[in-house]
Structure 1
Amino acid sequence: MPTPIHRYRSDDEDSARWTGFPFRDGDIVISTRSKSGTTWMQMICALLVLGTPELPAPLTELSPWLDWLGEPKDTVYDRLAAQPHRRFIKTHTPLDGIPLDPRVHYVVVARHPLDLAVSLYHQVANLDRARLAELTGQPAPDGPPAQRPPVQEWLLSWVDREVDPRAELDSLPGVLMHLSDAWARRHEPNVELVHYDDLLADLGGEMRRLADLWDLPRPTPEVVEAATFGRMRERADRLAPDTLGVLRDRQAFFRRGGSGQGRDLLPEAGQSRYQERARAQAPPDLLTWLHR
């Protein structure tokens, strides 16, 4: 009996848009949490599949976000159907919310949750909420946005928040649920986990490893260079996920891209509290890999 697929819904996304999607042999599905290297992995896939540092179209056209409600589903399906090359599709849905097809490769990028959270804090300030509401059919925001606490205070509250992980995917419980599901599937032949810090430490080696796994040509040094954070930031107008004007500043989308900023912000007691919360929500071997 097939495993049931969980449906994830929010004001901006609906994983049911995957139902009935016509996969092709060799499709790549990029399943990540927000601010965990989604655009970076999309760029890596684009460079590996197309084999050139110069993309023929904006990254969001080459690699659409299938479950985002800002574009009609049929528009996204038609764009993907017209692509002659191997397709690489973005989603923030965990793997238990996507049809798992043996012909398809699934890649999940993991980032230290505290670093993810800091990037998320800054990203929220860069969103045009009125434009986002317009695109997704939601009521326009009423009045100015509420003032948020300083990032350190916000991060401590993010660590402590008790929420339903399936309803709040960008919470600490939601992040660890997404990664725990992928971790449990890591031995399946078409599921691959990539650590954000490994991309920072050896981008060329990780790109060659993925090329071998996916039966794609190994990248040239020029192709690897095009995937570096600095080069991507220079090309923010074509690479930031914002063809419909949701970001206030595309350059700010590629804010820093480093590692360790979240841990540096927390005092010792806050780091201990984070470790306690993480241990309660994820298996020890996943946390050893995630926190290394």
Structure 2
Amino acid sequence: MIEVQTERLRNYVGPLTNTDVWEYYKCRSDDVIVNTPPKSGTTWMLNIVMMLIHGRVVPDAGNREDAPWLDAAFRDRRSIAASQCRLERRRCIKSHTPMDGIAYGSELTYIVIYRHPVDVHFSLRSHVENMKDNSGLIYMFPPDERTAFERFLDGPLTNSGTDDLTVSSIVHHYTQARKRQPKGNVHFFHYADLSRDLTGQIARLADILKISLPPQTLNDLTEANTFASMRKVAEASEMRFHESSPFRDQADFFASGTSNKWEGRLTCEDMDRYAATCASLLSPEDMAWLNWGDQRKP
């Protein structure tokens, strides 16, 4: 448990995020930071990472106590940091903050995961509608879906980071991670690749984390991390409808796990506008990967 020196370039503060905690969270050389825009496969990746750390299947392994969202503005960040400091096992931390706003150290391992931004948009809509108190976010998702999509396309980048929930904020998160990729400890995953080849992606992650993974354990972790298995765990949880849960139905956190959520909801013209917006911000290669992962096409 060796503490390491890190650097951080800026602050982000928004309805969901406050990065002040990184000033007093003491990073260790074996820390794993899962850093991703919202609704891009974060919980999926947290579950996999934590099961790899435990070396076995642990239902709901990526829960907020064991793999906490460190810079969540609405939680006691100092208490979370102190709790993590007391741990003797390898730690896994969640953040949605662009990488220039979190602690960066060359010894740490950073796992970033992305998803087609339009799928993110519609998944976020369902997520916010499932929240018991969505008063701070529901304005982003008015009843008319195309009006909400226009905001998603046109909203400017601000100091709220991915709290903006716009194309610009997702692209900014992506480009900040790409800037650090040459350092060798920032590893890119994509929701589409996890969906296509879960076994291969878990094996790849185990290799990155330098964790030996026997074939049977790999099979067990693959089965435990299918979408159906994760939803089944949520459906059976005593927290599903608990009064302390922030969601109306905890299982609807895993609403469908599907892609191409825009079909039947947006027009071809809407998607052409999305493509034009991305093309103004990214190279064709980066745009293809952000949309579809290593396959780079539907």
Shorter-normalised TM-score: what interval? Answer: 0.7 to 0.9
Structure 2 residue corresponding to 1:29, chosen from 28, 33, 53: 33
User: What CA distance in whole angstroms lies between the structure 1 residues aligned with 2:181 and 2:244?
Assistant: 35
User: 3-state SS of the aligned residue for 1:208?
Assistant: helix
Identity of aligned residues (%): 28
Deviating runs (4+, > 4 A) in structure 1? 55-58, 144-147
Q: Tell me the secondary structure at the aligned position of residue 186 of structure 1.
A: helix
1:268 matched to 2:268: yes
Q: What residue is the counterpart of 1:40 in the other structure?
A: 44
Matched, 1:106 2:110: yes
Q: Give, as a single letter, the amino acid of the residue that structure 1 aligns with 2:114.
A: A
Asked if the contact 2:111–2:187 (Cα under 8 Å) also holds between the matched residues in 1, the reply is: yes
Compute the displacement of 1:273 (Å): 0.6
Q: Deviations over 1:147-190 (max 9, x none)?
A: 8224344324422x232244352111001110111122222211
The aligned runs of 1:130-209 (5 Å cut-off) are 148-159=142-153, 161-167=154-160, 169=162, 170-209=165-204
Question: Hey, what's the Cα distance between the residues in 1 that align with 2:207 and 2:28?
Answer: 19
SS of the residue corresponding to residue 59 of structure 1 reads coil
Encode CA deviations 1:208-252: one digit per residue, 9 max, x unaligned: 001111101224211221111111111123899x99522121011
Query: CA separation of 1:49/1:183 partners in 2, compared to 1, >3 Å: closer, same or farther?
Result: same
**Structure 1 unaligned blocks of 5 or more:** 134-140
CA distance in 1, matches of 2:114, 2:83: 28
Q: 2:17 aligns with which of 4, 13, 17?
A: 13
Residues 180, 283 of structure 1: 8 Å contact kept: no
TM-score, structure 1 normalization = 0.86
Q: Which residue of 2 aligns with 1:136?
A: none
Counterpart of 1:116 (choices 117, 120, 133) is 120
Q: 1:115 to 1:82 in 2, by over 3 A?
A: same
In structure 1, distance between residues paired with 2:84 and 2:118? 34
Kindly indicate whether structure 1 or structure 2 has the higher relative contact order, using CA contacts under 8 Å at least 6 residues apart: 1
Matched residue SS, 1:128: coil
- Higher alpha-carbon deviation: 44-53 or 3-12: 3-12
RMSD between aligned alpha carbons?
2.7
Q: Give the residue type in structure 2 aligned to 1:276.
A: A
- Residue 63 in 1 paired to residue 67 in 2? yes
Alpha-carbon spacing, 1:220–1:152, altered in 2? closer, same or farther (3 Å):
same
CA gap of 1:108–1:120, structure 2 versus 1, over 3 A, is: same
Change (3 A) 1:272 1:239: farther
Q: Which residue is 1:232 aligned to?
A: 230
Matched AA of 1:210: L
Query: Equivalents in 2 of 1:25, 1:243: separation in Å?
Result: 38
The letter for the 1-side match of 2:265 is L
Does the CA-based 8 Å contact 1:35-1:120 persist in structure 2?
yes
Structure 1 residue 259: Cα displacement:
1.4
In 2, distance between residues paired with 1:290 and 1:146? 22
Shift of 1:290: 1.8
Q: Where does the alignment leave 5 or more consecutive residues of structure 2 unmatched? A: 1-5
Partner residue in 1 for 2:221: 223
- Residue 146 and residue 275 in structure 1: after superposition, are their counterparts in 2 closer, same or farther (change >3 A)? closer
TM normalised by structure 2 equals: 0.85
Mark the CA change 1:243 to 1:100 in structure 2 (over 3 Å): closer, same or farther.
farther
